[in-house]
Amino acid sequence: MLKVEHIGIAVKGFATAIPLYEKLLNTTCYKTETVDSEKVNTAFFRQGDTKIELLESTDPEGVIARFIEKKGEGIHHIAFEVTDILAEMARLQAEGFTLLNEIPKKGADNKLVCFLHPKGTNGVLVELCQEIG
């Protein structure tokens, strides 16, 4: 793994969350994107070499909506950049980690992504991500 690529934060709504994080981080949101397959809107902020990703559910039954209902707003996942997501998935699976998806899928910000089950990572949802192309 190369570095922490981003930290994902679940929020109820962008209308209040984006201005709050712009003030907190003293920077502007540089990109928003909808990821239909995950039923989520994303908003990105850059802080040094790391990005902060806000996640807003587009569906009351979506993963982020259920997360907020259960745990409230807050840190949802930590993402690590990798150079070869398939090799890293195979390595981690061989080490005993459980992958939440068997093949990488297209995520936000032009990335291929794969999540590790939090039961094997001390309760932390870990995302692997690799730049596409």
What is the band of 1 on the pLDDT scale with cuts at 50, 70, 90? Answer: confident
Q: What phi and psi values does residue 70 have, to the nearest 5 degrees?
A: -85, -45
Tens-digit pLDDT profile for residues 76-133: 999 999 999 999 999 999 999 999 999 999 999 999 999 999 999 999 999 999 999 8
Strand stretches in the chain, DSSP E: 3-11, 31-35, 40-47, 50-57, 74-81, 105-107, 111-116, 126-131
**What are the E-state strand segments in 26-104?**
31-35, 40-47, 50-57, 74-81
- Output the pLDDT for position 36: 94
